[in-house]
Amino acid sequence: DSVPLPSNVEIIAPDSATPPDIAKFSGKWSGSWDNILDHILVVETVTPGGAVVVYAYGTAPIWNIRQSGWFRAKGKFVNGSLVIETSRVTITYRLNKDGTLRGTYESGRVYSRAELVRVQ
């Protein structure tokens, strides 16, 4: 409840032409950055050319994040990982063998990790 999502979130199943290793990213994932900042990643579309995601987050007063929010972004697949780059941050998601998703967040000297699980 503490992580907002836009009202128009829509997960579109990848078509059969999408390689299975990247099709597995499709869906809604939930976890937290360093067990501090709640995070939801919704991978709305996956194609061989990339993905469209909703990146959403809660609040973390200890990190001076006092307003929750979300943004929609395009990602690309690089060596089996989903990479989202903005002008200030690079976020990389890798699928683990157990079906969870490992995230890394890098922005200047800030580096965080997250473990996310698929949610319905």
| DSSP symbols for 87-120 | SS-EEEEEE-TTS-EEEEEEETTEEEEEEEEEE-
Q: What span, in angstroms and rounded, lies between the C-alpha atoms of 63 and 69?
A: 15
Q: Is the pLDDT of residue 2 over 90?
A: no
Taking residues 100-115, report their average pLDDT: 95
**Residue 22 phi/psi, 5° resolution?**
-100, -25
pLDDT at residue 109 in the model: 87
List beta partners, residue 54: 42, 72
Tens digits of per-residue pLDDT, 57-86? 999 999 999 999 999 999 999 999 999 998
Type of residue found at 120? Q
**Mean pLDDT score of the chain:** 95
**Stretch (H or E) spanning 77:** strand 69-78
Q: Which pTM value belongs to this model?
A: 0.95
Tens digits of per-residue pLDDT, 33-60? 999 999 999 999 999 889 999 999 999 9
Q: Is the pLDDT of residue 104 over 70?
A: yes
Tokens of 117: 């699980």
